Amino acid sequence: MLPICREKQRQLSRQYQQQTLAHAILIQGIEGCGKDALAQWLIELLICQKPLLAHSTTELESIVSACGQCKACLLRKSDSYPDHLLLKSENKTLGVDDIRRGNAFLEKTAHLGKVKTIFIPQAQIMTVAAANALLKTLEEPSANSYIVLITDDLDSLLPTIISRCAVYAIRPMVGEALLAQLKSSSHGEVKLSSDVSLHERLNESAFVNLSQLAELTDDAIFQEYQTFNQCYLDFLYLGQSESEVLSQLVDNKHSLRWLEKITCNLVRQYYLVKEAEKAALVAKQEISAQVLNQIYQAIISSNKLIKSYTQANRQFVGEQLLMTINNIVRPST
Ligand SMILES: [Zn+2]
């Protein structure tokens, strides 16, 4: 287990022992951060019938692990354990049929173990239909079932999926070291030319990963991001700046990801704020979480379209997307 995963491993161990593990566990981190090994350890632990407690001399908390010798562990090692299902795809996407297979698997009672487990190693390649099928299971989890998902691209997942999972984000050491260096190179108090501190930029972005460092570290790109952000919000809430948004969608390679990120953050606000504050937020913004979710799904579909067809015409996809968003927000016009 990589050192950067240890904290999450201890946390999951503790929750396992206290029987407070969530039914759906989403592990997020960039490629190579060790999330695969962490997920593997967790699944083996869930399957094992006689887990072992390994007391660490340096840590107050201990880590539980699969014994590797019980009947369940032996069957798992020989790939013949009946109560676990791996849902992965050799294709670019994980389709609705795969998820339905998983749902059917969970509905049957366990053959051998006390729990049933499903592992989805690349959650971000789920199609929108697949994600919606999974959503139903996440909303009404069957007893003693666990779904472990991992992803290196949290922004590609529907916010509704994320909100129903316990998310364990693994922060890459290289990223933190990089950011620490950025801070120290500017003598502590970082003030960039745009007069926005790096700290504020990081706070602004709820989930930072290395792919977002462009706008976090490059002033020119950050300015573009801010301009785009404003144009997009004007478009969304006031019906203005459509042509500016479109030209950015066509010419700026970051723009579609930004569109996802901004919309996702708008949706997250609804899930993160207290119930009492929600009404005020709705009154102020006049766009409901449901509508934002529809927009978000449209953006994800467009993004997948552009990613899966190299020849996709950005102008066409951009025009279609903005028309779709317009129809969602202002159905009467
Ligand atoms: Zn075992």
**The domain that contains 145 carries what CATH number?**
3.40.50.300
The total number of structural domains that make up the chain: 2
Predicted confidence band of residue 132 (pLDDT cuts 50, 70, 90): very high
- Choosing from 128, 148, 169, the residue where a domain stops is 169
Nearest to 41 by CA among 76, 75, 71: 76
Residue 198: alpha-carbon gap to chain centroid: 23
Segment 262-285 shows an average pLDDT of 68
Verify that 85 and 224 share a domain, yes or no.
Answer: no
Verify that 165 and 196 share a domain, yes or no.
Answer: no
Dihedral of CA atoms 56, 13, 162, 44 in degrees, nearest 10, equals: 110
- pLDDT over threshold 60, residue 184: no
69 C-alpha vs ligand 1 centroid, how far in Å? Answer: 5
- pTM (two decimals): 0.56
72 C-alpha vs ligand 1 centroid, how far in Å? Answer: 6
What gap in Å lies between CA 106 and CA 270, rounded to an integer?
30
Domain that holds residue 36: 3-169
Q: What is the pLDDT of residue 311?
A: 59
Strands 52-54 and 63-65: antiparallel
Verify that 228 and 151 share a domain, yes or no.
Answer: no
User: Is residue 33 within 8 Å of residue 6, measured between CB atoms?
Assistant: no
Verify that 202 and 311 share a domain, yes or no.
Answer: yes
Residue 45, H or E segment: helix 35-47
Give ion ligand 1 contacts, CB < 5 A: 48, 66-67, 70, 73
276 C-alpha vs ligand 1 centroid, how far in Å? Answer: 47
Q: Which of 73-87, 188-202, 261-275 has the highest mean pLDDT?
A: 73-87
Segment 239-245 shows an average pLDDT of 92
Higher-pLDDT residue of 20 and 260 is: 20
CA angle 10–47–41, rounded 5-degree value: 40
68 C-alpha vs ligand 1 centroid, how far in Å? Answer: 5
